[in-house]
Structure 1
Amino acid sequence: MRKEGAVEANYIVWQAEGEPLRIEFSRLALEQVRRTCYGATNGVLRGGRGVGGLLYGTRLGSLWRVLGWRAIPCSYPRGEPFSLSGGDEVELERMLGDEPPPGMMLVGWFASHPRGGLLLSPEERRIHSVFFSATERLMITMRATRSGDLAMAIHVPSPSQPPVLFAMKPELTVAPMGKAEFETAAKERAEREEAGKVYLSPVAAPGPVRTTYFAVGFAGALVAVAALAVLGWQLTQTGILSPPERLAARISAPPRLLSMHIAHDGAQLEVDWDPRAYSGSEPRFASVICIGASMERSIELNPEALREGHLSIPLEQRPSSVILSVRTSSGKSLRETARLAEAQKK
């Protein structure tokens, strides 16, 4: 059973028949999600992929309101469908520990299907049982069609039937927003919200609305031309097409990566990185986070460690992953994750 979402002011409303459950989606946030799903599914260069994200908003009894979102990192360890590797799960754990946007809470998550129906996959059930089953949260499966519509299925957890069973509600179909309407809504949101929040920022690309095969072919040609231009620019920047003085300048420039290396000897964890990555900017906050099977420890770095690029941590339990995060006064953010098993391979 499928129905169109009713539009009320700035929200698309889904109302379950015969039930008090009501979900209101911010039109701007849902359009951002729709464009992301469309690009992952129908992209010219890397299409046919699923994506996932956290949903933020408010809840009052049976009324849910989805106001923002944040993409879940995915390295596609099992191909095109949305699935998580060990590193992806570590990053998702960190995201779930972050503070939600002001005035909001985590209300659920979503995953898009590049093809097929909207039933939950075994991987999606596993992800929900591991990361989202502690409290009642929504799970929404989505599929972006070639015409631009977004089909959605609402899955409501049933805590009385463990481990995780869902009641699938009638599907919801959402039509694309027009370009002018989207840009106006994004501008209004930007004026209200603090800049730089990933889960609230509008997508840069306008994304397709209703398209034809001719439009797709024309877009593919533009992408090819743009790719050649980017390749030429990259060759210039690396010095291959640059004069010697520019190559020398790039060699002397600070690296963009922290180049982190970790080692554990059973009693102490050694963390090394390249402090030149943030040279020229004063670090405002920096921390090392050690994550293991039954522990998580966060250490704020002191000025001496930041200057030397080295930290020794008394730690008997061997962590599985270490996250190094540095934010500078100029707004630059550097973040790297290393898994200990990979770092100690010879």
Structure 2
Amino acid sequence: MLTQPNAADIAFAQRLEGDTIVLGAGGKMGPTLAKRLHLALREAGRNARVLAASRFESASAVAELRDAGVETVSCDFLDSAKVQALPRVPNVLFLAGRKFGSAGDPDLTWAMNTIVPAHVAEQYRDSRIVAFSTGNVYPFVTPEQGGCVETDAPAPRGEYAQSCLGRERVFEYYSKHYQTPYLLFRLNYAIDLRYGVLVDIAQQVYAGRPVNLSVPAVNVLWQGDANSYAMRSLELCTSPARSLNVTGPETIQVRRAAEFFAKRFDREAIFNGESSGTALLNNASACHAALGYPEVTADQLMEAVATWVESGGTTLNKATKFQVTDGKF
């Protein structure tokens, strides 16, 4: 489901002119996004190339992409000469960035999240670019407020979030400087069955560990829907750059999610921590108006995650740290 294109993807692929490169394609989302776009192009009868660029620390990841028909390019994005050697194509999906470990190595986080965008912006100044960002650039709000909208002033908490706003500002500068069309893709909490907020909560309940309630609510989005939105956002790029909140329409209470999994697993939900009353929540109504509602609902996601965890499905063993309120990841 992560890589299978839907009708909207295929219609988009029929309109897409030229090749596309996915920068940062070795991470959590990059491989499935590249493969989904490649499949959409083939189902649309198009022969345009999809290229995937990353440091690719795993040889198996390279083989998997090549087997799927995606061309791979090894690149250290901090090396400006290597970025300048990348193929120039008209369509760019930028996923490179750093989050985990940010608190312990902030200089690398700032380098990845601000210097790399400058290298990419120079190399692809004649392209259109969907640049992944995050809802972490916004202030924490109460669930009753309904989530931040794109016109709300940023208020990033902690160095990771500040560096993400820095990434946006770098791209905004180059968008104006070169008239490069951009879309800043403010995604929060993409879920697949191996990773995500719901996986964290489900695993904690299944193992009898307490679920922290410091953050009372979250937004989530099936990664397949995030992939679809990302590729189709190429048609929404503008100069000056525009921002787009990308998540599901539901606001999920953390306690309610834990109680759902407890009932599903026939276990008791254990909680700790006191609610701060606020959370990182996005209002993605502009995304849904432009690109449609997600195909997978939050309830369907919770059921799928429950089945996966209960059956012993593999995970990435990487916590989302969604309960962090001080911005230190």
Structures share fold, TM-score greater than 0.5: no
Identify, as 1 or 2, the structure richer in helix.
2
TM-score under structure 2 length normalisation? 0.24
Identify, as 1 or 2, the structure richer in strand.
1
Greater Cα radius of gyration, structure 1 or 2? 1
TM-score under structure 1 length normalisation? 0.23
